[in-house]
Amino acid sequence: MNCELQNILDKTASDCRKMTRNGKQATYIPELAKTDPGLFSLSATTVDGATFSAGDSGALFSMQSIAKIISLSFSLEMFGYDYVFARVGMEPCSEPFNSIMKLEMTSSIPLNPFINSGAIVIAGIMAERFGRGAIDHLLEFAWKMAGRKRRLCVNERVFMSENSTADRNRALAYFMHSIGTLSAVDKSLILYFKLCSIYADTNDLSVMGGTLANAGLNPITGERVLSRETACTVTGLMSVCGLYDESGEFAVKVGVPAKSGVSGGIICAVPGKMGLAVFSPLLDAGGNSVAGMETLSRLSREIKLRGM
Ligand code: GLU
């Protein structure tokens, strides 16, 4: 199986890398526009701890929205389900990830922790409790999920770039402050930008996905990083709202819990089987990696990710 899986990854990577000419890079965070658009990497980590990679594995990129998995998992472990879901909802959202409209029209709390407003609230919970030390707790937790020798860190250039072009996120945060949903605006935003700027490669992300797929047990180190309940909650949310407005299409074409980010990464947790991660910076109109979506659709069929 292992040799076969490596062959499938190699073949899929070589086919899908040709699609790295389609789509558009995210430029609203200027630093993201500097990434080589031709990069492509693909990694898998099975729940029994075997890892595989193809393409430009080792290419680092900022996690962006994928890091919302880390902050949600950590908050659930630290503060518990009831506390977290009193502050954010768990329903999919049909508006763009940075929309203010739904928040104003329907509810005083963000619809879910994967849209920006929800992730800023989660960052706020952490900033309230840990102050400036919050990012170190998150990096430590991310490193345990990734189970690699190299420590994960914030890319300061991406952080500065986000921080200086964040009018939309500031608008969301100030709006939430005005209705009593968020207390410390600046501290929450700074933590949120740092979180999005964590640098990782697809190897790191596939182990993180493997940890979720393995009910919270890191398949490489054997360490229990999060509880089975947290893994179920996070993967449940990934299934319904992990791919922005294309979550439905992704559920049909790929059918596994996943989370994407605007830098072009997508992480998957295939319960009881493996973690997968793909990276290619050019995005479709929904903000998801064009080559990444195609790669995961093909792999879903080739290796029967849905188990049927
Ligand atoms: N840092 C990005 C933002 O706040 C994350 C967006 C994303 O990856 O969805 O806009």
Give SS3 for 14.
helix
Task: Give the closest residue to 67 by CA, choosing from 272, 298, 291, 234.
Answer: 234
Give the residues across from 51 on adjacent strands.
Answer: 45
Edge-to-edge strand list for the sheet holding 51-55: 51-55, 41-46, 274-279, 265-270, 258-260
Q: Among this protein's residues, is 194 annotated catalytic?
A: no
Pocket test for ligand 1, best of 31, 64, 117 (most atoms within 8 A of CB): 64
pLDDT of residue 107: 66
Distance 62 CA to ligand 1 centre (A): 10
In eight-state DSSP terms, residue 282 is -
User: Which residues, at least 6 apart from 189, have a Cβ–Cβ distance to it below 8 Å?
Assistant: 120, 123, 163, 166, 169, 170, 173
Determine the atom of ligand 1 nearest the C-alpha atom of 261.
8
Which tokens hold the place of 70? 């880390």
Q: Let me know: does 175 contact 100? Beta carbons within 8 Å.
A: yes
DSSP one-letter string for 59-91: --EE-GGGGHHHHHHHHHHHH-HHHHHHHS---
Domain ranges within the chain, ordered by starting residue: 2-302
pLDDT of residue 58: 93
- The CATH superfamily holding the domain 2-302 is DD-peptidase/beta-lactamase superfamily (3.40.710.10)
Ligand 1, pocket residues at CB < 6 Å:
64-65, 97-98, 116, 162, 169, 196, 261-262
Based on the residue annotation, tell me whether 28 is a catalytic residue of this protein.
Answer: no
Q: 53 C-alpha to center of ligand 1: Å?
A: 26
Is 61:281 a contact under the CB 8 Å cutoff? yes
Residue 193 C-alpha to ligand 1 middle, in angstroms? 9
- Contact yes or no for 264/61 (Cβ under 8 A): yes
Other C-beta atoms within 10 Å of 257: how many? Answer: 26
> Which atom from ligand 1 is nearest to the alpha carbon of 98?
10
Contact status, residue 57 vs residue 201, Cβ threshold 8 Å: yes
- The yes-or-no answer on residue 18 being catalytic is no
Distance from the CA of 198 to the center of ligand 1, in angstroms?
12
Residue 75 a catalytic site member: no
Q: What is the DSSP letter of 199?
A: E
CA nearest 257: which of 280, 279, 281, 231? Answer: 231
- One digit per residue, the tens of pLDDT, for the chain of length 308 reads 577 999 999 999 999 998 877 899 999 999 999 999 999 999 999 999 999 999 999 999 999 999 999 999 999 999 999 999 999 999 987 777 777 777 777 668 999 999 999 999 999 999 999 999 999 999 999 999 999 888 999 999 999 999 999 999 999 999 999 999 999 999 999 999 999 999 999 999 999 999 999 999 999 999 999 999 999 999 999 999 999 889 999 999 999 999 999 999 999 999 999 999 999 999 999 999 999 999 999 999 999 999 88
